[in-house]
Amino acid sequence: MLGNKMLRLCFSLLLLTCFYSTRVFASQNWSWSTCSKDSTFCLQVFFDHGRVDAKLYHLGSEIVRINCDGLLFKGQKSTSSFQLISSKVVKIDTVWNAPWGQHKQTHDRSEQVLMQLYDTTSKQQVELQFSFSNDGLAYRYIYHSKDSSSVMKELGTFIVTGDAEAWWCWADYNTLEKNYQHTSLYEASHVALPFTIKRKDGVCLAFMEAALANYPMMTLRQDTTNRGVFHINLVPWADGTAIKSFGAITTPWRVVQFASSEKDLLSSSFLDCLNAPPSNDDFSWVKPITFCGIWWEMHLGLSDWKYSGGRHGASTSNAKRYIDFAAANGIGGVLMEGWNTGWERWGEPDAFDFTKSYPDLDLPAVVRHARSKGVEIIGHHETGGDVVMYEKQMDKAFAYYQQLGIKYVKTGYAGPVNPPTENHHGQYMVNHMNLVMRTAAKYHLMVDAHEPVIPSGLSRTWPNLLSFEAVRGMEWNAWSEGNTPSHDCVLPFTRGLAGPMDYSPGIFDVLESNRKSDRVKWNGLDKGDSRVHSTICHQLAMPMIYYTPMLMLPDIPANYSGHPLFEYLKQIPATWDETRIVAASIGEFVVIARRSGTRWFIGGIGNEDARVIPVSFGFLKDKQSHSYSLCSDGKEADFNTNPLSYSIDKGTLHAKDRMELKLATGGGFLMIVE
């Protein structure tokens, strides 16, 4: 109740200022422009003889041009030709609080132009909206269609001026668990979003989408003859249609986040601001959480999700062991994967039953044990991609968890989608994911979605949508050639921009050498030489660097218990009051300072190159002396040859102090300042 009241208070404290100005047109030409507060970036929107274009300028030079050519409906032969009916400018100045996040407060200061258009080709009223803030521009359409419609394409082009460095993943329609490529912009052929580039002048741009609902995911395809020209592409339905809709069609926001530096790129809340405020004010039950769980031991092959074979992980006794470990260490929850029947039939239709435990698990008793220790159980619904089965069971499955007192669920779609012809990233799956989010809210369940569609800020509207995988995360280090330190350092600037990221970092046995002889190979990618490619301090810092309000401490209890660094890992909170980017270079290093109450956590991770990063503590803002603990790579640490070497140093510091913090190759550090 208190949380609910707090939430209401926050909203009543909203500082909301909207200025409107409306113009009605008869002319063929019209334009509107606005600039960032420091005038570094400006946007100009043009209407000229039936077409809408926009230009983004940096210090007076055009850096991106956007053609907004509308939707191509089935049967429509030519591109849209618009008439401009009226336009309205709206200024927004709002402060809002969310139940979790990287900041306690978010300030939305933006300007929007709302253009009323008539599409003379598809004969419909269309609203085209632009939003511009100090760190991004976005646009979307609302087609006021009345009946059912099939859309074949969204026509839109981003024309980037000049070459740039680009970090991108191939636009696979079924997985976001990919390695990033680092190439010239001109080699980025067909990219998934977020797509990040750095121009020669240091300006960074990230192409993304916000408020993705009832619509397929977008990719960008570079024109094969005109380099720098990227066409919008939508992940299709099996029959080739892009969007199937009834009534009005609201496209997601097409977003270009911009920043003068890599540091500033990480400081934006633009994506969240483009999403609607909470769908109702009763999300007081939403709570961020840290958790451990029956997970890594199965990825290592120490136990199994399956019951058959006699190596079942999610038994009553093992679950209680994890619960006791969580309770003893102040960890909020325990994830239980492989608790329910069906894992033997993974890949077949209707394999899983989400209300039936395996015979060695007494789930109600486990939940009671957890409750007696103040620990939450994180439930698990692995569908293997069988969405048809999940939608049949969803209400019953969520009601079962609610009745047991389980408030968190991790979902998974590891496998081809059923219906077999649909893509993971098409409208079918976007609608499914949003159905899960809404249904979960009805049962007061919080969701961590694996193999999801890309986050797009929807958690602002549905705060129970806590986290998402959508990344080549830790699990790959258990059974494949794994992830590189550079991969870890690219993620904050790419996937991380889209929203909470459940990578599940924090493995202490980075060489995966403990209990090696007990492991059974279960994954075809496993060549027997997998390991985590970083130092232990890199692992310690990652859970602080990658933000997620469902924060897993993934290693098995035996690898944490008694380890001096675990005393620091377990202190990392799942929500923050304030976040500052200290140093950043895409793919090379990132250092972030985050405040929780009166404590600051400063974490850094680096790529394969060892380096020293100067850190100033001005954010402490006072004249007092602060005590600190610094966990960093040992003198001889090297992620290849000596990954476990670390040191813990304690001392005092002042806001005016500066330290040279060392990163070994593949290294990291975590500092806690009281």
Residues that bind Ca ion (CB under 5 A): 450
Q: Which is nearer to Ca ion, 65 or 410 (CB)?
A: 410
Q: What one-character DSSP code corresponds to residue 667?
A: -
- Considering CB distances under 5 to 8 angstroms, the limit depending on partner class, which of ligand NOJ, Ca ion, none binds residue 156? none
Q: Which is nearer to Ca ion, 369 or 450 (CB)?
A: 450
- Considering CB distances under 5 to 8 angstroms, the limit depending on partner class, which of ligand NOJ, Ca ion, none binds residue 198? none
Q: Which of 475, 488, 512, 588 binds ligand NOJ (CB under 6 A)?
A: 475
Q: Least distance (Å) from ligand NOJ to the CB of residue 512?
A: 16
Q: Least distance (Å) from ligand NOJ to the CB of residue 607?
A: 24
What is the four-CA torsion angle of 559, 563, 567, 568, rounded to 10 degrees? -80
The residue written with tokens 């395996």 in the block is: 358
Chain residues 377-396 in contact with ligand NOJ, contact rule CB under 6 A? 382
Distance CA 576, CA 593 (A): 10
- Considering CB distances under 5 to 8 angstroms, the limit depending on partner class, which of Ca ion, ligand NOJ, none binds residue 382? ligand NOJ
Is residue 414 a contact point for ligand NOJ (CB under 6 A)? Answer: yes
Residues 307, 359 contacting (CB under 8 angstroms): yes
Q: Which of 209, 337, 526, 555 binds ligand NOJ (CB under 6 A)?
A: 337
CA–CA distances in Å: residue 248 to residues 143, 234, 296: 5, 18, 45
Q: Which is nearer to ligand NOJ, 41 or 295 (CB)?
A: 295
Q: Which of 450, 594, 595, 662 binds ligand NOJ (CB under 6 A)?
A: 450
Distance CA 549, CA 227 (A): 40
Q: Which is nearer to Ca ion, 550 or 582 (CB)?
A: 550
Is residue 469 a contact point for ligand NOJ (CB under 6 A)? Answer: yes
Q: Which is nearer to ligand NOJ, 252 or 412 (CB)?
A: 412
Residue 181 amino acid letter: Q
Chain residues 563-592 in contact with ligand NOJ, contact rule CB under 6 A? none
Tell me the backbone φ, ψ of residue 438, rounded to 5 degrees: -75, -40
Residues 596, 578 contacting (CB under 8 angstroms): no
Convert 517-556 to b/e letters by CB count within 10 Å (16 or more is b): eebeebeeebeeebbbbbbbbbbbbbbbbbbbbbbbbbbb
The residue written with tokens 């097409």 in the block is: 254
Residues 553, 570 contacting (CB under 8 angstroms): yes
Give the torsion sign (CA, 651, 654, 655, 660). negative
Q: Least distance (Å) from ligand NOJ to the CB of residue 177?
A: 8
Q: Which is nearer to ligand NOJ, 113 or 389 (CB)?
A: 389
User: Which residue's Cβ lies closest to Ca ion?
Assistant: 450
Is residue 295 a contact point for ligand NOJ (CB under 6 A)? Answer: yes
Q: Least distance (Å) from ligand NOJ to the CB of residue 361?
A: 16
Is residue 472 a contact point for ligand NOJ (CB under 6 A)? Answer: no
Q: Which is nearer to ligand NOJ, 99 or 505 (CB)?
A: 505
Distance CA 506, CA 475 (A): 12
Residues 80, 19 contacting (CB under 8 angstroms): no
> By the criterion CB under 6 A, which residues form the site for ligand NOJ?
295, 337, 382, 412, 414, 450, 469, 475
